[in-house]
Amino acid sequence: MSTSDTDIDDVRAETASDASPTDDPSDEEPDRTELLATIELLREENRRLRNEYARARQSRYRNTALGLAALGIAAVFGAVVFPDTRGVLIALGATGLFGGVLTYYLTPERVVSATVGERVYAAAGANGDALVDELGLRDDRIYLPPGDTDAVRLYVPRYADPELPVDRTGPIVTDESGRGLLFEPTGRPLFTEFERTTDPAETPVGIATQLADALVEAFELADSVDPDVDREHERITFAVSGSAFGDLDRFDHPIPSFVAVGLVTVLERPVSLSVTAGGERADWLVTCQLEG
């Protein structure tokens, strides 16, 4: 045997001795059962965290209710001890007790995070944008008063300066001068809920203020909404900051849709909607131009 053959055999022997059972690729793969168990644990932990978050929110409401009730009881007790101020204390006590009971029984049973809501809308908004682009429709967004239906409709025309459709049952408008699509706006159910708790004002300034307050205080869809009414040009602009549902320039976003539906319903006139970046004034500017 030659020297070169001996060297090759030595190298092979060393390689074999260095190899170990751990070099088997199959041994390096994670155990499937262990992975499934880990995934299930993570899912369970997510469910637990969501339940804890909901309970914490409910607890905060109920603590507020208990605080109001305690204030009411203390005021009633004070009315007995201090007869000179009995009238004021009794009124304060009744208010506290009523507020406590109301807050306790109106505590929401389920809390949906803004992130979940935004993701649900994002899918619908993306579908709307894709449909409009595919059909070659314009970027115009016109909210129409009820016609043959009892509801406001969002009209997206095919051509510039369209003739507003008379038949608004939709969804396809086939009139030659007004081809386009009709949608049920996302803001309509929100406005229906708004009407349940608020008596809408009948003036542009009044309804604009009410809609802005509802977005912030009632629906908590934005951190701030500042309306500006231009009577001369019949234009209402809402400066919106801190949207809970992300960018407002997407298809039929709930915030612009809600204010447009509200204005159309109360003022009984079509509204042409546009959304632009707000610059230094706000995150977004929602402009509603009254038509007709």
Pick from 43-57, 58-72, 234-248: least confident:
43-57
Say whether both 130 and 179 belong to one domain: yes
In the chain, % of residues over pLDDT 70? 76
Residue range 9-25, pLDDT digits in tens: 554 445 444 444 444 54
| 174/63 same-domain check | no
Strands laid side by side in the 141-144 sheet: 172-173, 180-183, 153-157, 141-144, 271-277, 284-290, 235-241, 224-230
Same domain, 98 and 179: no
Position with higher pLDDT, 11 vs 181: 181
Instruction: In whole angstroms, give the CA distance from residue 149 to residue 180.
Output: 17
Please report whether residue 10 resides in a domain. no
Mean pLDDT of the chain: 81
Percent of the chain scored above 90 by pLDDT? 45
Whether the Cβ atoms of residue 259 and residue 286 lie closer than 8 Å to each other: yes
Mean pLDDT of 171-183: 89
Asked which of 77, 105, 133 is the last residue of a domain, the reply is 105
pLDDT of residue 19: 45
Kindly indicate the confidence band of residue 40, based on its pLDDT and cuts at 50, 70 and 90: confident
Does any domain span residue 23?
Answer: no
Residue type, 151: A
174 and 69 in a common domain: no
Q: Are residues 63 and 133 in the same domain?
A: no
- Whether residues 161 and 253 share a domain: the answer is yes
Domain of 83, in residue numbers: 32-105
> pLDDT tens across 63-93, in order?
776 777 787 788 777 777 777 777 777 777 7
**Which of 46, 80, 105 is the endpoint of a domain?**
105
Per-residue pLDDT reduced to its tens digit, 207-241: 999 999 999 998 989 999 999 999 999 999 999 99
